[in-house]
């Protein structure tokens, strides 16, 4: 069995092994068919990913085909094509008991804390598989990315008609925009890359856009919202400067959701925070129900994943192609690895 390991920042290596053992009770052996490349993988390649150690097999945005199942598995069977929920939780800690397995106290995420999907086959708990007989492999691989945005929008409890600002037009920001719009918000995108802003306008139909390199964001937000400012603000950049600046953007009584993260501390002016009674939330990963909801929405045609994939590569090409996928000038929205 072939695998690709990130041995250290900037260096991949091919591995050969005998492949995984037979699945045990509650497990499934799967054949990996698609691996989406996300910001986590790019940060790991650059040596800037929190909660990470080397060497590591990357890959948590996965479409797989079930090869065999262990005793007691009833939710999938051999031949099923599935999206993978890559968050391996304990099931017993306070977060898991309160139905928040996405922030389990001992959470292990495939491709981050434990080896992920840049390999031909592996074994995982069958409950982490979400099947569809309708969606393509590409669509199944994008469910996890969409899940991050879905969960973030749910955290904010979007209200129909309100202004929702999404800072950062990378894949996580795009997913957040889609679900804020699905919930009925008037979405505003804020970025410094005009090409990505244009992608949001053209491909996602985002009605309001601000290029922070060309105009002052706060003044632009006041203009768009009639002076009120957005009631929901999402920062999907993982950039400390952006995250700290975002405290200026919510309206009185507004909510902020940090979707991206970085290795460091966020500071803010407390009187400015208190006088508006801002609610600040973190959003981590996604919930099992998010995966099922997203599959249903994509199957129904309410979420279109067609524009997302801008670059592709075969498994054997990954070490040569990956560095180019990390550079903004290549115009990558989502790169997809095919096995």
Each residue's pLDDT tens digit, 93-144: 999 999 999 999 999 999 999 999 999 999 999 999 999 999 999 999 999 9
| Average pLDDT score over the chain | 95
Residues 69-107, buried b or exposed e (16+ Cβ, 10 A)?
bbeebeebeeebbbbbbbbbbeeebebbeeeebbbbeeb
Instruction: Specify the CATH superfamily of domain 148-282.
Output: NAD(P)-binding Rossmann-like Domain (3.40.50.720)
Question: What's the confidence (pLDDT) of residue 331?
Answer: 86
Query: Cβ-count burial of 228 within 10 angstroms (0-12 exposed, 13-18 middle, 19+ buried)?
Result: middle
Measuring CA to CA, which residue among 117, 144, 175 is closest to residue 337? 117
2-131+308-338: CATH, from 3.40.50.1000, 3.90.180.10, 1.10.10.60, 3.20.20.100: 3.90.180.10
* Confidence (pTM): 0.92
User: Which pLDDT band holds residue 307 (cuts at 50, 70, 90)?
Assistant: confident
The contacts of residue 178 (CB under 8 Å, 6+ apart) are 146, 149, 204, 303
Domain boundaries along the sequence of the chain: 2-131+308-338, 148-282
Closest Cα partner for 163 from 235, 257, 223, 229? 229
Q: Is the pLDDT of residue 76 over 80?
A: yes
- From its phi and psi, is residue 163 left (phi > 0), alpha (psi between -120 and 50) or beta? beta
Residue 158 has what DSSP assignment? -
- How far is Cα 119 from Cα 33, in angstroms, rounded to an integer? 10
| In the chain, alpha helices (H) | 39-45, 94-97, 137-156, 171-182, 194-204, 217-224, 240-245, 270-275, 288-299, 318-325
Mean pLDDT, range 67-92, rounded to an integer: 97
Report how far residue 120's alpha carbon sits from residue 112's, in angstroms, rounded to the nearest whole number.
18
The DSSP bridge partners found for residue 34 are: 63, 338
């Amino acid at each position: 069995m072939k695998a690709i390991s990130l041995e250290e920042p900037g260096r991949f290596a091919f591995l050969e092994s005998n492949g995984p053992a037979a699945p045990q009770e509650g497990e499934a052996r799967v054949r990996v068919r698609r691996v989406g490349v996300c910001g986590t993988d790019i940060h790991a390649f650059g040596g800037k990913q929190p909660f990470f150690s080397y060497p590591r097999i990357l890959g948590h945005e996965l479409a797989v085909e079930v090869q065999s199942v262990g005793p007691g598995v009833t939710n999938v069977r051999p031949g099923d094509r599935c999206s993978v929920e890559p968050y391996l939780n304990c099931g017993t800690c306070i977060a898991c008991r309160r139905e928040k397995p996405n922030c389990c106290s001992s959470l292990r995420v495939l491709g981050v804390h434990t080896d992920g999907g840049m390999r031909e086959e592996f074994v995982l708990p069958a409950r982490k598989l979400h099947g569809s007989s309708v969606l393509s492999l590409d669509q199944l691989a994008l469910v996890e990315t969409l899940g991050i945005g879905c969960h973030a929008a749910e955290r904010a409890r979007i209200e129909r008609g309100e202004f929702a600002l999404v800072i950062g037009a990378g894949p996580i920001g795009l997913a957040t925009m889609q679900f804020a719009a699905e919930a009925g918000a008037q979405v505003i995108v804020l970025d410094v890359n005009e090409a990505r802003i244009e992608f949001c306008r053209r491909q996602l139909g985002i009605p309001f856009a601000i290029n922070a390199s060309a105009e002052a964001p706060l003044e632009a937000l006041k203009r768009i919202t009639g002076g009120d400012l957005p009631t929901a603000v999402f920062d999907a950049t993982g950039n400390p400067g952006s995250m700290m600046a975002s405290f200026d953007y919510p309206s009185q009584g507004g909510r902020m959701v940090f979707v991206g993260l970085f290795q460091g501390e966020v500071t803010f002016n407390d009187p400015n925070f208190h006088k508006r009674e801002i609610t600040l939330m973190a959003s981590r990963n996604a919930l099992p129900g998010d995966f099922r909801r997203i599959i249903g929405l994509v199957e129904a045609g309410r979420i279109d994943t067609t524009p997302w994939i801008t670059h592709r590569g075969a498994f054997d090409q990954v070490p040569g192609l990956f560095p180019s996928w990390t550079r903004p000038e290549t115009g990558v929205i989502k790169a997809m690895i095919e096995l």
